[in-house]
């Protein structure tokens, strides 16, 4: 049987350069903010009812303040039915009553003033995104938005998937979400994607304005830490 060699850091003959490098490699651990952001993305798996086990320890690292919407979008590996169940849970940040189940009647949409940006098309860099006063502006007259949670989740997932490879397309998808679902259950996630996309497009002033509006609307959101990390100078 081969005896295991001493690890390099336990071996006195290891040179100082190697020793310093290995020690530095071992020392790199995520910050609390990074762990919080990760926990927020895993919300439905960590929280009550999400993991099938007992409730998560209310440690800050577990992002206990995560909203049901955050939980819904974070669990991308979950079956749609399971996710849909989470979508209808009211959240402390969201004063709106729980949304009704999807209706069978055809959706009636109010006229759209601005045509949506075609999907997959980059927004020109010089076009300044007009940040709304609030992330989910209230229309001047009642409007009926779509209420299909699976469709809403699928759209947000597409926008998240597009973020890294094509932030312009991701931004366009968030506009589509806003047009179709308005203040939907995943409005927070839509705003996070939009802010991230603006940042990736180098449009930080707009990203910051939109992040400030996000904070006003959802001051206890689990996504705030992620936004802070994203936009820190």
Binding status of residue 105 toward another protein by CB under 8 A: no
Q: At 212, is the secondary structure helix, strand, or coil?
A: helix
Residue 202: phi and psi, rounded to 5, are: 80, 15
Binding status of residue 71 toward another protein by CB under 8 A: no
Exactly one of 100, 115, 165, 219 binds another protein (CB under 8 A); which one?
165
Binding status of residue 106 toward another protein by CB under 8 A: no
Distance CA 185, CA 174 (A): 13
DSSP string computed for 178-209: HHHHSS-TTHHHHHHHHHHHHHHTT-HHHHHH
Binding status of residue 95 toward another protein by CB under 8 A: no
Binding status of residue 80 toward another protein by CB under 8 A: no
Exactly one of 12, 13, 54, 232 binds another protein (CB under 8 A); which one?
54
CA distances from 87 to 102, 109, 136, 188 (A): 11, 22, 18, 12
Residue whose C-alpha is closest to residue 43's, from 20, 21, 23, 66 = 66
DSSP letter assigned to residue 122:
P
Q: Which tokens hold the place of 49?
A: 């009812």
Binding status of residue 100 toward another protein by CB under 8 A: no
Binding status of residue 141 toward another protein by CB under 8 A: no
Binding status of residue 108 toward another protein by CB under 8 A: no
Q: Shortest approach of another protein to residue 183 CB, angstroms?
A: 26
Exactly one of 12, 13, 26, 130 binds another protein (CB under 8 A); which one?
26
Binding status of residue 232 toward another protein by CB under 8 A: no
Question: Measured from the CB atom, is 17 or 140 closer to another protein?
Answer: 17
Distance CA 191, CA 210 (A): 8
Name the site residues for another protein (rule: CB under 8 A).
2, 4-5, 7-9, 17-18, 20-30, 34-35, 37-39, 41-42, 45-47, 50-57, 59, 61-62, 74-77, 79, 82, 164-165
């Amino acid at each position: 049987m081969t005896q295991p060699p001493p690890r390099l850091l336990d071996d006195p003959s290891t040179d100082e350069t190697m020793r310093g490098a290995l020690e530095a490699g071992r020392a790199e651990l995520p910050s609390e903010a990074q762990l919080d952001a990760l926990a927020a993305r895993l919300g439905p798996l960590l929280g009550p009812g999400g993991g099938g086990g007992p409730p998560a320890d209310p440690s800050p690292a577990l992002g206990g303040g995560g909203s049901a919407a955050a939980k819904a979008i974070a669990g991308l590996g979950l079956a749609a039915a399971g996710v849909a169940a989470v979508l209808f849970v009211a959240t402390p940040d969201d004063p709106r009553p729980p949304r009704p189940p999807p209706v069978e009647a055809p959706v009636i949409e109010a006229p759209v003033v601005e045509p949506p940006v075609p999907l997959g098309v980059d927004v020109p860099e010089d076009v300044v995104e007009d940040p709304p006063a609030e992330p989910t502006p209230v229309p001047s007259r009642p409007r009926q938005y779509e209420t299909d949670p699976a469709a809403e989740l699928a759209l947000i997932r597409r926008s998240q998937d597009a973020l890294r490879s094509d932030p312009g397309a991701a931004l366009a998808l968030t506009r589509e979400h806003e047009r179709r679902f308005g203040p939907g259950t995943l409005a927070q996630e839509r705003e996070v994607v939009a802010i991230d996309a603006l940042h990736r497009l180098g449009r930080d002033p707009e990203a910051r304005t939109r992040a400030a509006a996000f904070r006003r609307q959802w001051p206890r959101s689990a996504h705030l830490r992620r936004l802070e990390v994203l936009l820190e100078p």
